A = this chain, B = another copy of it.
């Protein structure tokens, strides 16, 4: 299988595959003409990489999983190093979620305050139209005003 076919079957691009090879993440055999040659096993490795990437893993974090598969284990996460990456990612996620929730509540607080102040100003402006009623009569028919 050549690079274009593998890329298509994995839903990625040839550029990405060459990049992975450059990182030593997904090495390729070479055909006689210099073309990269991949097998079905490489498709498994690649799917593993893409799955983890969808989870937000960096490429280096996928390395233990790929090496685990290359070592012949049934799953990429059958090895201790992969489990360690899982644990690290989980704690990173927890930290990140907590930080975002903290930020969300702070921003929400600021937003609520800013809106209250806007409404207070609007109320102040709305308290003016009554003053406009004191100013308005000049625009009314003088007779209408004198009837009051």
Interface residues of A (CB under 8 A from B): 55-56, 75, 77-78, 82-83, 86-87, 89-90, 93-94, 96-97, 100-101, 103-104, 106-108, 110-111, 114-115, 117-118, 121
Q: Which residues of B contact A117 (CB under 8 A)?
A: 75, 78
Main secondary structure of the interface of A (DSSP, over half): helix
Q: Which residues of B contact A97 (CB under 8 A)?
A: 97, 100-101, 104
Q: Is the CB of B106 within 8 A of A55?
A: yes
Closest to A96 in B: B100
Complex: how many Å from CA A100 to CA B89? 11
Complex: how many Å from CA A83 to CA B104? 14
A-B contact pairs, 13 of them (CB 8 A): A55-B106, A55-B107, A77-B111, A78-B117, A78-B118, A82-B114, A86-B107, A86-B114, A90-B104, A90-B111, A93-B100, A96-B100, A100-B100
Closest to A115 in B: B83
Most B C-beta atoms less than 10 A away, residue of A82, A94, A100, A108: A100
Closest to A112 in B: B86
Closest to A76 in B: B114
